[in-house]
Structure 1
Amino acid sequence: MQAWHVHENGEPSEVMRLVDVAPPTPGEGQVLLKVRAVSINFPDALLARGQYQIKPPLPFTPGVELCGETEDGRRVIGNPVLPHGALAEYTLADAAALLPAPESLDDAEASALLIGYQTGWFGLHRRARLEAGETLLVHAAAGGVGSAAVQLGKAAGARVIGVVGGPDKAAVARELGCDVVIDRRADDVVGAVKEATGGRGADVIYDPVGGEAYQQSAKAVAFEGRIVVVGFASGSVPSPALNHALVKNYSILGLHWGLYGTKNPKLIAHCHEQLTELADRGAIKPLVSERVPLADAAGAVQKLADGATTGRVVVEVSA
């Protein structure tokens, strides 16, 4: 079979190689999956660079989210078991962690339903307890993680403010349904949020960026607001001023979605049921901005690493 291997750490386009290898052999509790589609995620770039919290032995195959097919013909979504990532014709996954792919989504869309949408659902509903009528601010609103949060926020009845970088991404955010769009490159983010909320600020802020975005969040959050820390795509991990949180009376909530797989896996299954219902009635639909063949996977990972994508870039492997 064909598979992408990272033989040394570095930029994805430089260290990923397409090779011919034997299909992996399932271990205890694992199943062999025929890969149908792979949603490219930021961890794929971090894995190639050797900067992810998990460091599989070299050489390894990246690709952390997929839609695949079991040997008995079931269409499923899940996370592969590294070092056998999803950017290959076949991969391995833990049988107990696989979820049925919604019939309302094609392979590419289904491959993008797990990480971003589960993270959004847990962040907005489990951690922040977002309520209808509240104002939700989403950083990187046109990206894979941000676009999922925008759709979930709208489905929950929130007023959504999207922060993006550049006019092209602003157009995507508007198409996603953002009520207010702020271009961080051209606008004063904090001032624009205050203007859009009558000086009150945002009730819930969803931050997968960190760095300067978090500093803006702390200034733009409302009384009794909640900042959900999802990740640090900027590469900068902020140090919150806890005295500011005390004086302004807001909460800082961390979200590590992967922990639910070991701490409370039943919640992941429950979340998937909720997401499937939302997808079936058209309330959410993963934004697949580009579909590329397996041969172009290295370029797709590099494009994401360079911040040049909107929504999800999906590698289509087999039908």
Structure 2
Amino acid sequence: MHAVVLHAFGPATNLSYETVPDPVPGPGQVRIAVKAAGVHLVETVLRSGRAGESLPPQPELPTIFGGEVAGRVDEVGPGVDPSWIGRDVVTASGRPGGYAELAVADVASVHPITIGHETAVAMIVTGVTALQFLDVAELTPSDVVLVTSAAGGIGRLVVQYARDLGAKVIGAAGGPAKVAAVRELGADLAVDYDRPSWAESVAAELGGREVTALLDGVGGDKARAAFELLADGGRYVTIGNASSQVFRPDPETVEKRGLTVTNALMTLLSEPDTRPRYEVRALAAATDGTLTPAVQAFPLAEAAAAHAALESRATTGKVVLIP
């Protein structure tokens, strides 16, 4: 089969499209003919060789990235009901990795699907994370919600959820095209946080109202500017730092203003047992149309271009690879 293999840490161009042996399903496993594989921002960090306390351990090389896999079962291992063969499925636990034409997974981790492969692969991790993020945020219809990185995979789903809940939604993203995408999602206000004084323009548009919940996926200076818009008693919930810059609110300010600061990612990582039920919820939300992910697809052979685009924040929605 063809797969994308990393032999040495470094730039995106180190990802090599090559021929490798087909994986064979073991006991309790199915093999999936991959139709769509998800690409995650953390994979670009691991590929580069950078390490950090909040990151997964670096993989042994050579490696094939990508656990998010959707496709059709073409073979089953010992002990698995052969009726799985021919079924469309999705999993977050593909091995040796989803950047390939074939992957295997434990049958217990596989969900049958009736939605498109690209949609399913977007929801099995990004959708799950968005729902977990929202549960931590505990939004209400009376909230004024500011979502940064609102045109990203998670951000778009958060905007949809908050809009349907009845909250007032402000979506911040970088560049006219991304701002237009956020506006099309139904945000009450879509702003370009690459423009100077964007936060001041948000304050002016709110006309005296204040942000009660900040859901931040970008970090850095943009998060700092957004944080200044929070009302006393507001909630600041983070899910990552797409800018690769860290913003940590001043503890004295947080206490003085009665703010709640939560690192949702750390909270979620401490509760791995909840993941299966979130996967069911996320797929159900896509199936009934409650949440609709945006997908930006690249051919499997162009995985390096997908990584480069993701790192430069030139993508909109969930990045997927198509064999």
**Shared topology, TM-score over 0.5?**
yes
Consecutive unaligned residues in structure 2, runs of 5 or more:
76-83
1:38, CA displacement in angstroms? 1.3
Q: TM-score, normalised by structure 1?
A: 0.88
1:28, CA displacement in angstroms? 6.3
Partner of residue 293 from structure 1, selected from 289, 299, 313: 299
Partner of residue 161 from structure 2, selected from 152, 160, 164: 152
- Cα offsets for 1:279-304 (capped at 9, x unmatched): 2332311112x333222222122211
1:2, CA displacement in angstroms? 0.8
Separation of aligned partners in 2, 1:221 and 1:279? 31
Separation of aligned partners in 1, 2:242 and 2:11? 16
Which residue is 1:120 aligned to? 130
Q: Answer yes or no: is the 8 Å Cα contact 2:223–2:247 preserved in 1.
A: yes
Letter in 1 for 2:290: A
Q: Answer yes or no: is the 8 Å Cα contact 2:3–2:64 preserved in 1.
A: yes
Comparing 166-175 with 88-97, greater Cα deviation is found at 88-97
- Cα offsets for 1:140-196 (capped at 9, x unmatched): 111122112112222322221111111111111111221101111225233233223
CA 1:96/1:201 → structure 2, altered by over 3 Å: closer, same or farther? Answer: farther
Consecutive unaligned residues in structure 1, runs of 5 or more:
none
Separation of aligned partners in 2, 1:95 and 1:46? 29
- Cα offsets for 1:76-95 (capped at 9, x unmatched): 2222356x221101123343
Separation of aligned partners in 1, 2:190 and 2:196? 10
Separation of aligned partners in 1, 2:108 and 2:206? 44
Letter in 2 for 1:8: A
Q: Answer yes or no: is the 8 Å Cα contact 1:193–1:201 preserved in 2.
A: no
Separation of aligned partners in 1, 2:310 and 2:65? 14
Which residue is 2:59 aligned to? 56
1:21, CA displacement in angstroms? 1.0
CA 1:201/1:115 → structure 2, altered by over 3 Å: closer, same or farther? Answer: farther
CA 1:55/1:95 → structure 2, altered by over 3 Å: closer, same or farther? Answer: farther
Q: Answer yes or no: is the 8 Å Cα contact 2:298–2:321 preserved in 1.
A: yes
Which residue is 1:67 aligned to? 70
1:162-181 to structure 2, matched below 5 A, reads: 162-181=171-190
Q: How many residues align?
A: 309
Separation of aligned partners in 2, 1:223 and 1:29? 53
Separation of aligned partners in 1, 2:279 and 2:67? 17
Q: TM-score, normalised by structure 2?
A: 0.87
Query: What is the SS of the residue equivalent to 2:118?
Result: helix
Letter in 1 for 2:271: K
CA RMSD, 1 decimal: 2.3
Mapped pair 1:90 → 2:91: no
1:30, CA displacement in angstroms? 4.7
- Which has more radius of gyration? 2
Q: Answer yes or no: is the 8 Å Cα contact 1:135–1:160 preserved in 2.
A: yes
Q: Answer yes or no: is the 8 Å Cα contact 1:2–1:89 preserved in 2.
A: yes
CA 1:188/1:308 → structure 2, altered by over 3 Å: closer, same or farther? Answer: same
Letter in 1 for 2:11: E
Separation of aligned partners in 2, 1:15 and 1:33? 26
